[in-house]
Amino acid sequence: FLTDQRFILALFDRDLDAAGVLATALSQKNSGGNPELGRDFWMGVVARLKGDETSARVALTKALAEQKEEIRNPDDMWLLCGLGLIDALLGKKEEALREGRRAIEMLPILKDSIVEASVKRYFVMACAWAGERELALQQLEVVARIPGGPSYGDLRLNPMWDPLRGDPRFEKIVASLAPKK
């Protein structure tokens, strides 16, 4: 638990050297998180943020294989969220978008706004990393208004939103979630 928290703090602080060291100590599976994105995924993300594409590809390919091993039900919404994000980071745009859309299609059955916000949040991240900036921003405008959607701090600090930074529409969404004075 503490390692997970220290890792997130280092990542959000952009201390990528510390995040890289802490990522190696993460459990292989995210304990209880949905989707279960563990050590290899986060090692790949840190490597990507450092600009080390070779290490990122190796770690993310391993994370993808681990996610695919978990497939018990092809309609596992959380598994599809994880696969979509990993595929986006690996440059597999069509697979990422298909998996994300399939996860979203499962939402009407659930009628749970927190789950809906989380699933859509992962889809937006996958769109952003797959280079679908316009789609990501359209979806983010919606999910930012859903209870349980991304917070101001998440959008401001989380490097998973980096592909959208600098776009005035993204900055406007971030500003709209800022604490009111």
User: For the segment 2-29, what is each residue's pLDDT rounded down to a tens digit?
Assistant: 889 999 999 999 999 999 999 999 988 7
Mean pLDDT score, 167-173? 98
Which residues does 159 contact at the CB level (< 8 Å), separation at least 6? 11, 12, 14, 45, 49
What's the Rg (C-alpha) of the chain?
16
pTM given for the model: 0.88
**Which band of pLDDT confidence, cut at 50, 70 and 90, is reported for residue 110?**
low
Contact 104, 123 (CB under 8 A): yes
**Model confidence at 109: pLDDT above 80:** no
As a whole number of angstroms, the distance between CA 155 and CA 150 comes to 7
Mean pLDDT score, 74-90? 91
